[in-house]
Structure 1
């Protein structure tokens, strides 16, 4: 059985976003990744809709998630 070294393997965008919000909060996310869905009336649903349509923003979220994981361990 092989295990993937990719920290995103098996993680949904929703799970990643929930972990980031729990760990950092919306305010930090809005300051770090400057997108309106994190700043103005933030919600998981609206953020997921935007991130699924916007590859550059999704990439920034995934990069922040990987940095968060590296700091935890």
Structure 2
């Protein structure tokens, strides 16, 4: 079985992560935290997902930001 009990992102899609970050921070703050053009210039969900799916370092930063957002919401 492919369970990942210690992975807080297990079962959460990249689309959900980007959508929730956008709703929480907005594109401007996302671009501030993760300095990539897909957040800064004409941002859209589709362009962001396309970029993040092929850019590992950026996806890792977005996932880290998502985990920070979850902690802020708990706090």
Query: Is TM more than 0.5 here?
Result: yes
RMSD: 1.4
- SS of 2:51's equivalent in the other structure is helix
**TM-score, structure 2 normalization:** 0.89
Counterpart-to-counterpart distance in 2, 1:55 and 1:66:
17
In the superposition, the TM-score normalised over structure 1's length comes to 0.92
1:35-50 mapped onto 2 (5 Å cutoff): 35-50=36-51
Contact map agreement 2:4 2:10 (CA 8 A) in 1: no
Number of residue equivalences: 72
Unaligned ranges ≥5, structure 1? none
Q: Structure 2 CA distance, aligned partners of 1:72 and 1:6?
A: 18
